Amino acid sequence: MPQYTPPLRDMQFVLHELLHVTDELKVLPRHAEVDADTINAVLEEGGKFCAEVLAPLNQTGDAEGCTLDRETHAVRTPKGFKEAYAKFVEGGWPSLSSDPTFGGQGLPHVVNQCFYEMLNSANQAWTMYPGLAHGAYECLHAHGTPEQKTLYLPKLVSGQWIGTMCLTESHCGTDLGLLRSKAEPQPDGSYKITGSKIFISGGENDLAENIVHLVLARLPDAPTGSKGISLFVVPKFLPKADGSIGDRNPIFCTGLEHKMGINASATAQIALDGATGWLVGEPNKGLPAMFVMMNAARIGVGMQGLGLTQVAYQNAVAYAKDRLQMRSLSGPKAPDKPADPIIVHPDVRKMLLTARAYAEGGRALAMFTTLQIDKALSSDDEDERKQSEDLVALLTPIVKAFLTDNAWISTSHCQQVFGGHGYIKEWGMEQFVRDSRINMIYEGTNTIQSLDLLGRKVLGDNGAKLKKFGRLVSTFIEDEGTNEAMQEFVNPLADLGDKVTKLTTELGMKAFGNADEVGAAAVDYLRVCGHLVYGYFFARMAKVALEKQSSGDPFYTAKLATARFYFAKLLPETAGLIRSARAGLKPLMEMDEALF
């Protein structure tokens, strides 16, 4: 069975030595009292929960899956899941970063995000249940009426109730403008909602006493397309005035999807037969309101990729140190044994270091992005809020797509380290591969994220958001330009920054002539930008490691070696990606459809 050890030392490095989060937080009134000891203590306890309670349920949950009773429409989650959720609630974990007004602990989002990385490493399928509940909380917190907040938020914050988002229908995936679910207004101000939804994660489960569904539907007079979508809160059980649960609402699970991964997450088909719901936000403005939850979910999916990268790496390293196979080409490294451990072989090390680098780079990016969320929500400085909001907008599609692409690469590499044993269930690696593949698809496929990045976040404002991140890079390069020890990191970073600027300008000019040029280049472009971001953080991490390597702590030696590997072996991928992006639309479109 695979093992998991929370990467607390690297988290502490990113939080305290790279990002200096307590310095950043103490100027934010709501987080001014948060100190490093508090953060470290919370993450240490959270790591214990993940390693001791959740990780042992990952393989058994995958094997058992969820079960639907078609007569009652009830779903049973795998053995141990409900008990683990009860411990999660008892420990106060659902409330970690929630508003104290509604019973939350009010800790920074960046602390909660570290916790969710560990949850995802331990058991991604289980983590999707409370993860979606937190997204429902964020949406209602931002757009709910005072009455809705009073009724729903304390229950979601405590974990007594859980949440979902019901978007997709069988005929429309990403193109929500095609959805058909209808909402009929009632005299009492409520709505009767009818329709069907598919691919609803956690759409029915037995973990909590009530499920708060956030449902997209159309009002009778709604305009066509995405501008005619409204958002409704539709509880499984109708709440009474005192907050207790009342009658069953006719929103039912009619089927569970049989998937290649995350089998313990109930991916439900949902039927609404005149279910009672209440409008959230303004009529026909449901999509912008839902995007609060969707953007949180996109960062959350990136964290799923990061979590799987980390746990796969840990287990592959342990196997590579133990597995004896052949001799090193340069001579025996373990002459007292019949063969050398496979970690001595260069390509095994390349696979391991790829996963390690993608985990460490992803952790730095994810924590930086979440820190910007804290600043955007809490800063008293309007300019700082705007700066942070723009950085979050720019980096969200990169967090979602680059981290999950890298997780697919990393988990596949780590499975390869196991050789034939990588296909055997008891080792756990094939589950990590299966689970990681879905993360590239849902919450907007990675192609959609790429179109969002290039088309909306970069070209949509003539590069203003990109330039804000670019200034962080250029300032760092200027500061380290005369530091001889940093040239191996600064020079390739500066070179890539110049190339991204030129590529962006070139693609913008092409897009003026034909908008499909954006679609032709977007996936390559996002990956290039992902490497620019990782390069920036690896250069900063290398700077810290260089300054502290004289301490004798092997952590800094390893950090420096990982940074050097990243710049030598992974960053050069950008050369081919830039060439591919510049190849443009013609090679994709010149073949007649009939010839496919």
Query: How many Cβ atoms from other residues are within 10 Å of residue 92's Cβ?
Result: 14
Q: How far apart are CA 334 and CA 343, in angstroms?
A: 11
158: alpha, beta or left? (left if phi > 0; alpha if psi -120 to 50)? alpha
If residue 562 lies in a helix (H) or strand (E), which one and from where to where?
A: helix 554-565
- Residue 227, C-beta contacts closer than 8 angstroms, at least 6 positions apart: 177, 284
- Tokens 């970073």 sit on residue: 493
Start-to-end CA span in the chain (Å): 45
3-class SS letters over 222-289: CCCHHHHCEEEEEECEEECCCCCEEEECCEEEEEECCCCCCCCCCEEEEEEEEEEEEEECCCCCHHHH
Contact (Cβ atoms closer than 8 angstroms) between residue 198 and residue 269: yes
Half-sphere exposure of 483 (CA within 13 A, CB side): 18
Whole-number Cα distances in Å, 213 to 69, 133, 252: 20, 9, 11
Q: What are phi and psi of 197, to 5 degrees?
A: -130, 150
Q: Which of 367, 380, 365 is nearest to 31 (CA)?
A: 380
Residues 6+ apart with CB under 8 A from 546: 485, 486, 560
Phi, psi of 79 (to 5 degrees): -55, 130
CA-based angle 66:72:76, to the nearest 5? 20
Report the catalytic residues: 443
Would you give the distance in Å from CA 66 to the centre of its chain?
23
The stretches of 71-204 forming alpha helices (DSSP H) are 81-90, 109-143, 146-158
Which residue(s) pair with 218 in the sheet? 182
Q: Which two tokens stand for residue 142?
A: 């931002």
How far apart, in whole angstroms, are the C-alpha atoms of residue 488 and residue 157? 47
- Does residue 261 contact residue 253 with C-beta atoms inside 8 Å? no
Crossing angle of helices 487-513 and 516-548, in 10° steps, is 170
CB of 75 closer than 8 Å to CB of 253: yes
Q: CA separation (Å) from 527 to 230, 246, 298, 401, 454?
A: 34, 49, 17, 8, 11
Half-sphere exposure of residue 290: CA atoms within 13 angstroms, side-chain side? 25
Task: Count Cα neighbours of 35 within 13 Å in the Cβ-side half-sphere.
Answer: 2
Query: 60 near 78, Cβ under 8 Å?
Result: yes
